[in-house]
A = this chain, B = another copy of it.
Amino acid sequence: MLNFNFQNPTKINFGEGQIEVIAKEIPADAKVLLVYGGGSIKSNGVYQQVIDALAEHTYFEFSGIEPNPKYDTLMKAQEIIKAENIDYILAVGGGSVVDGAKFIAAAALFEGSSENSEPWDIIAKQAPITKALPLGAILTLPATGSESNGNSVVTRDGNKRPFSSPFVRPLFAVLDPTVTLSLSDRQVSNGVVDAFVHTIEQYLTYSVNGKVQDRFSEGLLQILIEEGPKALATETKDDLEVRANIMWSATMALNGLIGAGVPQDWSTHMIGHELTGAHGIDHARTLSIVLPAVMKVKREQKRGKLLQYAERVWNITEGDEDVRIDKAIKLTEDFFKTMQVPTRLSDVDLGSDDIELLITNLESQGMTALGEHGDITLEVSREILTQAL
């Protein structure tokens, strides 16, 4: 195991009816900015629950945060923050809303190093974040883990760019699985696949004998494989226990715990981001296209962990090493197909002619040494994308 520091102070409030706890979690004298997306929270009853819980609070609203939240959209929130002296952000939505709220919280207290500084420097120049407005999250779509980590991804000019700071980690998160019952199949499948690949990025690297991290990751993968399809099947999709197990798994997949003390990959995400940036493909659907190709191209470097994955996650014990690895990759692709997400570029109408733009964009983002060994050069990324055709 590698040395590590781990801290996750986010308070989790999990279960049916927990939205009402925000009345106590948010200070009574706070001036709250309620941040949400396109309004689905109004049709599924979540908005009303939030408003009811905030009855004794002073709050304002900022809506319209889109999937892959845009810098220009997020900056518009700064006007109301200044005008109303907002001092608390409450995000209500999925990962994009929570990510966007994190940028809003950091931008509100951003102090640049010069007159020309702007909050975009947080991302473009990785300008240090020394403070942010306090933030809470009510999660409506289990997927990204954003509700209890300090990570955020913001898009500007078609480029998805990450930043991270402990100051934007939500102080609390409400995880009520009942609110996920109104999600579309597409949102559910995207969420399960996203959480699955988050786990893989921190697990399928090389062994440092981190047994707790490995066992926990394998457990999460098994749960997502078991429960994901149930959340799409007519007879089980309304089962609250299925939704609860998916929701808690997605949070645990990216709250920092399983990645502490082990190498991490993230090449599937970085390559996938370019597919979203250039072609607007849902984040999770870029991952299901790229991951199997990464497994195939990086097979030798990941051999030990692929064998462990085959045995412990898929119960594959028959055949020689290469047979077992092939079978594990095939079962991964089959799982993605069951989850109704694409596993090939051709599934989203992209072909070999589209690869070069993605490589160019990776290069312009400096993504020239990806993966746990830093050996996924642009040439290897091209090989991965070609494998994914």
Q: Cα distance A384–B215 when bound, in Å?
A: 33
* CB proximity of A228 to chain B, nearest CB, Å: 12
Please encode chain A, from 212 to 226, with 1 for each CB lying within 8 Å of some chain B CB and 0 for all others: 100110111011001
Is A227 part of the contact surface with B, judged by Cβ < 8 Å? yes
- Neighbour of A215 across the interface among B9, B222, B260, CB < 8 A: B222
Contact pick for A17, options B3, B14, B215, CB 8 Å: B3
How far is B220's CA from A25's CA once the two chains are assembled, in angstroms?
A: 32
Question: Which of A77-85, A96-104, A115-123, A242-250 forms part of the interface with chain B?
Answer: A242-250
Q: Which of B9, B209, B249 contacts A245 (CB 8 A)?
A: B209
Residue of B nearest to A209 (CB): B241
When chains A and B are docked, how far (Å) is the Cα of A21 from the Cα of B7?
14
A9-B7 in contact given A219-B212, A248-B1, A261-B248 (Cβ < 8 Å): yes
The one of B5, B209, B248 in contact with A212, judged by C-beta atoms closer than 8 angstroms, is: B248
The answer to whether A261 and B14 touch (CB under 8 A), given A212-B249, A249-B212, is yes
In the bound complex, CA of A384 to CA of B1 (Å): 40
A219 and B220 contacting across the interface, CB-CB below 8 Å: no
A211 on the interface (CB 8 Å rule)? yes
- Structural contact, B13 and A5, CB atoms closer than 8 A: yes
Q: How close is A96's CB to chain B, nearest CB, in angstroms?
A: 24
A8 part of interface (Cβ distance < 8 Å): yes
A304 touches B (CB below 8 Å): no
Question: Are B6 and A12 within 8 A (Cβ)?
Answer: yes
27 pairs, CB–CB < 8 Å, chain A vs chain B: A1-B14, A1-B15, A1-B244, A1-B248, A3-B15, A3-B17, A3-B18, A4-B12, A4-B14, A5-B11, A5-B13, A5-B14, A6-B14, A8-B9, A12-B260, A14-B260, A209-B241, A209-B245, A211-B219, A211-B245, A212-B249, A212-B252, A215-B215, A215-B218, A215-B222, A215-B223, A218-B219
Q: Is A10 an interface residue (CB 8 A)?
A: yes
Q: Is A2 an interface residue (CB 8 A)?
A: yes
| A16 CB within 8 Å of chain B | yes
Distance A257 CA – B5 CA, assembled complex (angstroms): 18
Which of chain B's residues has its CB closest to A261's CB? B14
State whether A211 touches B12 (Cβ < 8 A): no
Please state if A227 and B211 are interface contacts (CB–CB under 8 Å). yes
A17 proximity list for chain B (CB < 8 A): 3
